[in-house]
Amino acid sequence: MEEEGKHDEITALEKEKAGLVEKLKEVDRRYRYKMYESKALREMLEKRKEITLPPASEIRRRIRRLEFIISTEARTLKQERELVKEVRNWEKKLDQAVNIERTERKLRFIGEDIKGAEMQVAQLEKRIDELRKALQEKHHTERKSAEERKLLKLKRKVEEERQKESEPFMQKESDGRVGLGEICVIKKKEK
């Protein structure tokens, strides 16, 4: 009964450990994917940052100011066309700046995901180590108790054999007195 309980505990610990190992594999795959994604985004960001652009908010202000100038001031047709070209040029730069800012924001989120995955991996590895130690202890005690059972069984067998050998000499007399065979051990002569 006790042996079955220990075996059930070991089985439960092994199942929990196997589940944690699978979860660890999943987290590790996600961690690696985020690392590759981060590396790719950094390379792409480095290429885009070669073009120096002001922040998107500053570009938006310039576009609004130019559109305000176009709509409120009286200018020649040529001057208005130049201002419209400048607005379009700034709008293209705005798209690039917005893409760069989105990429940087995405990189920050990926960095946070990577930190979270690292923490989760550390926690899972710690728990798996704890389970391994517990399993080793259970297996050790199980082996130890099995060895003890074998020794006890062997001792009982030896004791039974000794008792069988000395049984003919250990007959009590009817009046309750002890015979010489009960006091001393009689050894057989070997020829």
**Is 190 inside any structural domain?**
no
The answer to whether residues 46 and 60 touch, using CB atoms and an 8 Å cutoff, is no
**Is 154 inside any structural domain?**
yes
**Is 66 inside any structural domain?**
yes
Domain count for the chain, please give it: 1
Distance CA 178, CA 90 (A): 121
| Among the listed residues 64, 59, 67, the one whose alpha carbon sits nearest the alpha carbon of residue 84 | 67
Has this prediction a pTM greater than 0.75?
Answer: no
How confident is the prediction along the chain (191 residues), in pLDDT tens digits per residue? 466 667 778 888 888 888 888 988 898 899 899 999 999 888 888 887 777 788 888 989 998 998 888 888 888 888 888 988 999 999 998 988 888 889 889 999 999 998 998 899 889 889 889 888 988 888 888 888 878 888 888 889 888 888 777 766 665 555 666 666 566 666 667 76
Instruction: Identify the DSSP state of 184.
Output: S
**Is 122 inside any structural domain?**
yes
What's the pLDDT at 17?
A: 84
**Is 189 inside any structural domain?**
no
CA angle 7, 10, 13 (to 5 degrees): 150
CA angle 83, 89, 91 (to 5 degrees): 105
What's the pLDDT at 185?
A: 63
Distance CA 135, CA 100 (A): 51
Domain that holds residue 47: 2-183
